[in-house]
């Protein structure tokens, strides 16, 4: 084995992880998301090079992404809340439904295969990517967010699918709120709070789901890899407030095109690995 080549590859991957952490932090502030849509595919490739067994590779990627999202979402939420942009009433009504969806997703994650989890990520990423590319501000389902039972049901679904993808739920929550007439900046700000409701119980659930699983990489607590969390958290936490400032200063359409395209590329790559 060529140690020089291996070391060079590992340095390159470490730099890629740091760069992804920076992008994730910016996205957390700009879109109210935790950056998991960026982190999961990068973590997956990183674990593949390390030789982590494919049966747990996607689980570890998703769970570790949720671990990284915890401080990023909290800092993003506090920054948006300071500006008075968060819909606290909506978050309060989602305090139970969103974590409930997270719990159900953790139970599913304990039994679904790595390929199944990859397929779920790819399909949802493709749908969200298409929505971001073709989104129109004129699209509406109503003039305001509905009450029971639609509101708690949507909250539970956002928590469920976001946990299985390893994301903070921002893109889904943004879609939900804007389709019901809420301003995009309020949707972004509130989504950072949704990320807190998802990531904290999500990490606990993924630790439980993966506890004692075979073939886990070193420094793992259940499916959550603590080393990956420790490497990426500092830079995401630092860049999240910058993303908040960008969100309140620039138009979002160009970023939506870019992010939507990225999601479609990731979805295509994952689907190709399953069926190609």
Number of domains in the chain: 1
| In the block, residue with structure tokens 């849509």 | 37
What is the percent of the chain where pLDDT is above 70?
Answer: 89
User: What tens digit of pLDDT does each residue of 176-196 get?
Assistant: 998 898 887 898 889 989 999
Using CB atoms within 10 A of its CB, is residue 42 exposed (0-12), middle (13-18) or buried (19+)?
buried
| In the block, residue with structure tokens 């990531």 | 199
Using CB atoms within 10 A of its CB, is residue 143 exposed (0-12), middle (13-18) or buried (19+)?
exposed
The 8-class DSSP code of residue 224 comes to E
For residue 1, pLDDT beyond 50: no
User: For residue 217, what are the CA distances in angstroms to 9, 64, 107, 122, 222?
Assistant: 18, 12, 21, 24, 10
What CA–CA distance (Å, rounded) separates 50 from 44? 10
What CA–CA distance (Å, rounded) separates 186 from 35? 18
Average pLDDT over all residues of the chain: 85
Say what the pTM is: 0.83
What CA–CA distance (Å, rounded) separates 82 from 204? 28
What confidence tier does 233 reach under pLDDT thresholds 50, 70, 90? confident
For residue 101, pLDDT beyond 50: yes
Domain that holds residue 251: 3-275
What CA–CA distance (Å, rounded) separates 224 from 160? 18
User: What tens digit of pLDDT does each residue of 54-68 get?
Assistant: 999 999 999 999 998
Contact 229, 84 (CB under 8 A): no
Q: Which residue has the higher pLDDT, 252 or 162?
A: 162
What is the percent of the chain where pLDDT is above 90?
Answer: 38
What CA–CA distance (Å, rounded) separates 170 from 247? 14
| Cα angle 200, 175, 38; round to 5 | 55
């Amino acid at each position: 084995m060529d140690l020089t080549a291996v070391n060079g590859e590992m340095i390159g991957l470490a730099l890629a992880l740091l760069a992804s952490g920076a992008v994730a932090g910016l996205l957390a502030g700009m879109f109210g998301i935790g950056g998991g849509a960026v982190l999961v595919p990068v973590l997956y490739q990183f674990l593949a090079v390390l030789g982590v067994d494919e049966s747990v590779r996607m689980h570890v990627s998703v769970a570790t992404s949720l671990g990284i999202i915890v401080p990023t979402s909290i800092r993003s939420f506090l920054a948006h809340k300071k500006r008075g942009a968060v819909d606290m009433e909506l978050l309060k009504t989602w305090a139970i439904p969103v974590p409930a969806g997270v719990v159900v997703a953790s139970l599913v994650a304990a039994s679904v295969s790595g390929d199944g989890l990859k397929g779920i990520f790819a399909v949802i990423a493709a749908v969200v990517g298409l929505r971001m590319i073709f989104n129109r501000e004129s699209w509406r389902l109503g003039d305001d967010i509905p009450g029971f039972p639609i509101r708690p049901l949507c909250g539970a679904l956002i928590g469920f699918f976001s946990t299985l993808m390893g994301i903070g739920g921002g893109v889904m929550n943004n879609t939900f709120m804007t389709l019901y007439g809420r301003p995009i900046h309020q949707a972004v700000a509130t989504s950072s709070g949704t990320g807190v409701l998802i990531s904290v119980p999500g990490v606990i659930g993924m630790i439980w789901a993966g506890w004692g699983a075979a073939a886990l990489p070193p420094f793992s607590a259940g499916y959550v890899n603590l080393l990956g969390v420790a490497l990426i958290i500092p830079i995401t936490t630092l860049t999240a407030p910058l993303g908040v400032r960008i969100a309140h200063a620039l138009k979002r359409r160009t970023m939506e095109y870019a992010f939507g395209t990225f999601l479609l590329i990731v979805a295509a790559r994952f689907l190709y690995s399953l069926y190609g």
